[in-house]
Each structure stands twice: as structure tokens, then as C-alpha cells.
Amino acid sequence: MAILEEIRVPDIGDFAEVEVIEVLVGVGDTVSEEQSLITLESDKASMEVPSPRAGKVVELRLAVGDRVSKDSPLLVLDVESAAGASAAETAPEEPRTESPPPPAPTPAAGGAAELVIVPDIGDFADVEVIEVLVGIGDTVAEEQSLVTLESDKASMEVPSPRAGTVTALKIAVGDRVSQGSPILELQASGDATAAPAPQRDAEPTPATRSTPPAPTTEPARAGPREAPLPNVDEPKFRKAHASPAVRRFARELGADLGRIDGSGPKGRILREDVKAWVKKTLAGGAPAAAPAAGGAGIPPIPEVDFSQFGATETVELSRIKRLSGPHLHRAWLNLPMVTHHDEADVTEMEAFRKSLKAEAEQHGVRVTALVFIMKSLVDALRAFPQFNASLSPDGAALILKQYFNVGIAVDTPNGLVVPVIRGVDGKSLFELSAELAEVSQRARDGKLGPNDMQGGCISISSLGGIGGTAFTPIVNAPEVAILGVTRARMQPVWNGSEFVPRLMLPLDLTYDHRVIDGAAAARFVAHLARTLGDIRRLLL
């Protein structure tokens, strides 16, 4: 005899209102004990919720984008009968109290094209379209995904309400939509107007239900999980940043998402990335599930069983490091990078900075050397426009920028992030100090959004608060240069007649040699050092 049991979110530590970013099972799926059911993500951590027992999913009680806490309803399991099972083990069914979704537009009479809109997507507005999955003339099936939307922390697919042919697209990648926004026009099939909800094969309705469960309409619900691919690391496959449609596509082709670098927003893996990986793997003569070679055909580092040498512990990389790693790897493989080293005499600048202490306190800020470097860097960008640029994708042109946004690398408990300070040229030292403090705090708290880390012209990586004499930072592509700064030191400097103590600041400029040559880099750093040496030059 089957037993219906409501599964709830277990104790997830000191977290509340945690967002559901992925639903890993669907109604009708058979799950095993400890199998992951959903993925949750807070500002600083992600976690999977396992099933406490085996059974069959009868009903889902949440969807992608929902926020849950301990004991929030998750799903209902049809648990197989077991010896010793008691009535106390089953949670009573409660009627659903969710508000019904807004009615979808009905097809016009005479087979006219129907306008498909964004359905109820929960507490989200102005969500970015990151992928359009169909084109004009395509024939789509009911429930087939049409577009992929992504907010700061969740992604979701919008399914088609019925079968038909796409006659017009109303949105494009990069657009922002909310509930009710038009997606496309659909010429419905002859039977689309009365298409019933999909039925499960011979699935009995539990006797404890007064009415059958209503068909779900959430756009982001994951379908049944496919059987695992051979030679694929399932945990890495599940944690890969990809939409359900791309996951299904990868499984159909036998591609291991855990080995694919994403080119989409925030490192998201797109269909094109999967296709490119498969083509590259086949061209190399290796099976699709075999470990792929590193960039530029470099063989991968062989796996080593370190436990044979002593005790070990495996710690998962933070989400930030998992996303930034492929980005840095792409930059390292694609950009011919050179680093130029120099020093700036900042003795007078430091004296001026200290003289501003009382005035800065009146503004409620602390002025650091970094804001002087930011202003001086903008001055250098004006003098050398090729540094305030990006190379076109085909490598044939230089895109010169007329704005001055500076990325600042911030060290956080979860890894390095680079928020962007916009319009540096039009802000005072006190304004920059206040904004820098506020953005750095949000970065350490894990509260930065994607827009906070986009649109930079050049980046600064400062290790002055830690130490060091020089290093070689990696260019934050598609920027063409990055400035590294380490700790200033008092040094004896020859002035032509004697050695005098001067505060010298090491500067390390890494640049894309396709755009900038060595002479230009040397002139750029010399200009920057001259401005830092006499900050009055900013008035010229």
C-alpha cells in the first residue's frame, strides 16, 4: 500500500528565505534516498536538498525563484510500503492556496496568430532575456521552451502554452521583461485551442486527494531527470551553470557540462558552447565523454590520488571562483599578455592625502591612495585612448570608449570580484571614497549584482594593504589593460646631488599586446607616474 508523505526543507543552518535556483526532479519521477531534489542559493552559499527516503514524486510544492526556510513544503512523495511504517509518518495533504495564474491569451477566431506573453514568474520584474530558443518559422510543441530569463540569482525558461508556428518575435537577447510582456506571435495548430494538459501513463490518483492536482504553470520547472551519462561526473554536471534545455541538449549529444566553459552571461553554458565542445572533441578523435584537452590542445594534468601520501580533505570551490576561473582561463589562452613594471614617487601625494583627513571626516569618508590612482588613471586614459578600448570580436577593429569606468578588484571571503565604479572622471575624491567604501562592503557581503560588475574600461588590482613588490595581474577581458599596485616603500632616491628619502609606489601594467605595444605601455605608465608624482597635473 502506498503512503503519501510531504517532504519539507530540512535544517539548513543559519539561513532563511533562501532562493530555489534549480528543481532537479519533476512530477512522476522516481527518486532514491539521498538523491538531490532542489538546489538552494543564498548570498554566500549554495546547497542541494536530498530526499530523506525513496519514492515517487506526486506533487511539487515549489518552483524556481521561490524562497524557502526550514520546514517549507518541498514536494509530496508516494513512498513505497515498508515494514513498521506508521500513520504518524505521513503528513496530511493540505489544499493548495496559491493564487491561480493569470489566464493566458486565447487564440483569435479563424486561426489568427496568438500573442504569447510572459506568464506569472513570481516576485520578479525587469528580468533579462539571455537566450531566445526559437525563431520565426519554427514549429514548436506545447510546453517547449521559448526563451530563457535570468535574474541576479535564478534562471528560468518560459514554455509555449500550446503547439504552433512562430510568426513574429517580440523580444531579443538583452531585453528585460516582466509578467505580461509580449514574447512572440504563434499561429496555433488546429487542435491547439483545446489542447489538454499532458497525462501521465496509467498514473492512479491517490485516494487521499479530493481533486486531482492542477497542472503546473511555473516556467522554470525542471523535467524528469535523464539517466546519467557514462564517464560523466554527475555532481559537476548538475552544478554546471546551464539552463534545463541546454542540459537536455548536452545529454542528447553525450557532452559533459562539467568540462565545458560557458560564454554566456556570468559564465552560463549556451547551446553554442556545447556544439563547439562536441566539434572540438570529435576533431581530436576522442569520444565525447572523454576528458577534453586543455586550451590550445594542451594535454590536461593527470589525476593524482593524493590520499596515498596522507590524509586529505576535498573542499568545493566557491561559486565566484567556479565562475571566474573559466573567464580567467579564456583570457590567459586568448590574450598575448605582457607586464610592464615601473615606480611612482608619491611622497607629495601622500602628504596631501594625510592633510585631507579632517575634511574627509566631515564628509564621513576615509580618503585612500586608491582614489588618487583612479583619478590619475582616467587622466592617462584620456592621453592614450587605445587603453580605453576593446578589440572587436573579429580582431579587425578597435572600439574606443567615450566613458571612464574603472573596475576595482575586491578580496572577499568567497573569492575575488571586480565591481565597476562608473563615471570616475566626473566625481570628486570624497565622492569616490564614499562609493568605493559602499561597493567594497557590498562585495564582501555577497550583495553585488551582475550590473555592478559590467561596463569597465580598465581595472585596478591593489595589494598595497597586504604587501609585495611586484606581480603580473591578468587582463580582465574584454578590457585591454589592468593596473597592479603593491605597497609603497620609503626608498633612497638620487636627486642629482644626494640621496633623499622618497615614498615609491610600484606599478605593474599588464596589457593585451594585440592592441598595445611595449613603447605605448611604457609611455602610459610614465604619464601615470608623473601625474601621481605631482597630483596638480590633474588640473591641466
Residue 486 CB contacts under 8 Å (≥ 6 apart), including other chains: 462, 463, 464, 467, 468, 469, 470, 471, 506, 508
Question: 183 vs 294, which has greater pLDDT?
Answer: 183
- For range 40-49, the mean pLDDT: 69
- Residue 331 region by backbone torsions, left for phi larger than 0, else alpha for psi between -120 and 50, else beta: alpha
**How confident is residue 234, by pLDDT bands cut at 50, 70 and 90?**
low
The string of DSSP codes covering 380-419 is HHHH-GGGSEEE-TTSS-EEE-SS--EEE-EEETTEEE--
Average confidence score pLDDT of the chain:
80
Interior angle at CA 530, CA 525 and CA 532, nearest 5: 95
CA dihedral 522, 524, 528, 531 (to 10 degrees): 110
- For range 456-461, the mean pLDDT: 97
Q: How far is CA 141 from the centre of its chain?
A: 30
- Name the phi and psi angles at 487, rounded to 5: -75, 135
The pLDDT of residue 408 is 96
User: What homologous superfamily does CATH list for 227-298?
Assistant: E3-binding domain (4.10.320.10)
Q: What is the CATH number of domain 322-539?
A: 3.30.559.10
393 burial type by CB count under 10 A (0-12 exposed, 13-18 middle, 19+ buried): exposed
The pLDDT of residue 53 is 87
**How confident is residue 235, by pLDDT bands cut at 50, 70 and 90?**
low
Bridging pattern class, strands 458-462 and 406-408? parallel
Give the separation between CA 335 and CA 474, rounded to whole angstroms: 9
Q: Is 78 helix (H, G, I), strand (E, B) or coil?
A: strand
The pLDDT of residue 400 is 97
**How confident is residue 42, by pLDDT bands cut at 50, 70 and 90?**
low
Copy the grid coordinates of residue 457: 574600461
- Give yes or no for a contact between 460 and 373, defined as CB atoms under 8 angstroms apart: yes
The pLDDT of residue 130 is 82
Q: Which of 12-16, 132-136, 322-326, 378-382 shows the lowest mean pLDDT across its residues?
A: 12-16
pTM: 0.49
* Distance (Å) of CA 39 to CA 21, 180, 239, 331, 435: 6, 27, 9, 30, 34
Give which of 458, 467, 367 is closest to 420, Cα–Cα.
458
Alpha helices in 24-126 (DSSP H): none
Q: Catalytic residue among 327, 341, 513, 527, which?
A: 513
511-529 tens-digit pLDDT? 999 999 999 999 999 999 9
**How confident is residue 289, by pLDDT bands cut at 50, 70 and 90?**
very low
Is 513 among the catalytic positions? Answer: yes
Around Cβ 76, how many Cβ atoms within 10 Å? 25
Interior angle at CA 390, CA 437 and CA 421, nearest 5: 10
Q: Give yes or no on whether 1-83 and 114-188 have one common fold.
A: yes
Listed by start position, the domains of the chain span 1-83, 114-188, 227-298, 322-539
Interior angle at CA 16, CA 178 and CA 90, nearest 5: 100
Residue 203 CB contacts under 8 Å (≥ 6 apart), including other chains: 28
Candidates 3.40.720.10, 3.40.50.1980, 2.40.50.100, 3.40.50.1100; CATH matching 1-83: 2.40.50.100
Q: Which residues pair with 35 in a beta bridge?
A: none
**How confident is residue 231, by pLDDT bands cut at 50, 70 and 90?**
low
- For range 57-82, the mean pLDDT: 84
333-381 tens-digit pLDDT? 889 999 999 999 999 999 999 999 999 999 999 999 999 999 999 999 9
- Amino acid at position 539, single letter: L
- Helices 518-533, 369-383: axis angle to 10 degrees equals 130
- Residue 395 region by backbone torsions, left for phi larger than 0, else alpha for psi between -120 and 50, else beta: left
The string of DSSP codes covering 18-87 is EEEEEE---TT-EE-TT-EEEEEE-SS-EEEEEPSS-EEEEEE---TT-EE-TT-EEEEEEEPP-TT--G
What percent of the chain is modeled with pLDDT above 70? Answer: 77
100-141 tens-digit pLDDT? 444 444 444 445 788 999 887 766 788 888 888 888 888 988
Which CATH fold topology does 114-188 show? OB fold (Dihydrolipoamide Acetyltransferase, E2P) (2.40.50)
- Name the phi and psi angles at 55, rounded to 5: 165, -170
The pLDDT of residue 237 is 66
